[in-house]
Structure 1
């Protein structure tokens, strides 16, 4: 699930999505927009390796 959209205040461009991860222990991670491949009817498709997904920053 996408919890937030992070926008560059200077340019107005989307920089990242804050995504909710985990089934039991939820956490929010910052997903840089470079991983987004498509957005269609409320579905965000991404292409990211398992290692990169694991290394995403936690949103605070």
Structure 2
């Protein structure tokens, strides 16, 4: 997904509460979110990668 598609999907999943605040909602940077978004096909998959994998973290 693109970062824009991800933002839309997360807002739909969280009933608009997400906005575009990756730092506040997931404690990650936008760069980290973009890395995950490139591999994720849905908001649920994004969250699964975020929770269970670490390759996307800034060094």
Give the alignment's TM-score, normalised by structure 1: 0.28
Structure richer in helix, relative to its length: 2
Higher strand proportion (structure 1 or 2): 1
Name which one, 1 or 2, has greater alpha-carbon Rg: 1
